A = this chain, B = another copy of it.
Amino acid sequence: MSTQSEFSLIETYFTDLTSSRDDVYLGIGDDCALLSCPVEHVVAVSIDTLVAGIHFFADVDPESLGHKSLAVGLSDLAAMGAKPAWFTLALTLPDSNDAWLMAFSKGLAILAKQYNIQLVGGDTTKGPLAISIQVHGFIKPEQALRRDGAQIGDLIYVSGTLGDAGAALQLKLQQWDDEVLTVQDRHYFYHRLEKPSPRIDVGLALLEFATSAIDISDGLSSDLGHILKKSRVGATIDLTKLPLSQSLQNISKTKAVELALNSGDDYELCFTIPADKQSLFESTVDGEYRQIGVIDAELGLRAISVDGQMDTITGSGYDHFSTNS
């Protein structure tokens, strides 16, 4: 029930982030920021909260946490095909810790600079460690990569590799381990969990091609499920085609596929491309992505398993409140 005067100088840590763009008519320092949206575009917005002990370990490296807090929002812009513009930061901290704040803001700043996204507002509060970031981007509304546009016959793709962040989480929680994993494998997994790369470039490149897209935050089965539900279609995916990192290929095939199919936090994109645009898409758009299945009329998600069996995947992603799931 007090204003936290010890937080008054936090401004210092974030100054680098507050002055990169011409479309910020008025930035931090007034009752509101004033922001200019380009004509013929809409503003794409998404807000996400990361809470200590729920979304991250309280002792996580603060630079990685700064990175991830913004990466999660950028990934939502990527999944919409939107170009990043601005973000706001609501930071709740138990105490004002110089070293922690410097590292946290550094992680934020490096990613913000990479994507030319400017900090335009904030609120800093004393309390249990939590970070809410709202991202804002631009897109022409008719081009947006919505979840409800997948059509029967469209091909299903994913970017990057899947399951790496899930492997890291299970290792950290001591829910699973495998003696074949090297120190390098483990570090790779941890890096994927703590410093995900938002696929902004992939999202922008998809605008001409994709009928739908989502980012994989909860797991492929769950997130593809959102597309299927919103588009009122079904899908069959081929589990032998799930893209696996070299490190994940070191463990048993069954475990690797389970992680790639069901674990979250990879922040890759899942998207659909009409079959008649496949060759143009694959010859035009560079980057790491792979076709893993096809949209079909029968509702639900089916998988051709590693041994050639067809399984129905239940409980996939039909229950979320969020624009950001």
Using a CB–CB cutoff of 8 Å, the interface residues on chain A facing chain B are 1-5, 7-11, 14, 25-37, 39, 42-49, 51-55, 76-77, 79-80, 82, 88-90, 92, 120-128, 130, 132, 134, 136-137, 139, 141, 144-148, 169, 173, 213-215, 218, 230, 264, 319-324
A123 B132 Cβ-Cβ under 8 A: yes
Q: For the complex, would chain A's binding face be called helix, strand, loop or mixed by DSSP majority?
A: mixed
Nearest chain B CB to A319 CB, angstrom units: 4
A322 B123 Cβ-Cβ under 8 A: yes
A46 B29 Cβ-Cβ under 8 A: no
Q: Among B45, B55, B89, B215, point to the contact of A35 (Cβ < 8 A).
A: B45
Copies per complex of this chain: 2
A323 B31 Cβ-Cβ under 8 A: yes
A80 B45 Cβ-Cβ under 8 A: no
Q: Among B27, B46, B127, B215, point to the contact of A128 (Cβ < 8 A).
A: B127
A323 B121 Cβ-Cβ under 8 A: yes
B31 A35 Cβ-Cβ under 8 A: no
B134 A47 Cβ-Cβ under 8 A: yes
Q: A90-B47, A90-B49 are in contact. Are A321 and B127 (CB under 8 A)?
A: no
Nearest chain B CB to A225 CB, angstrom units: 13
A323 B32 Cβ-Cβ under 8 A: yes
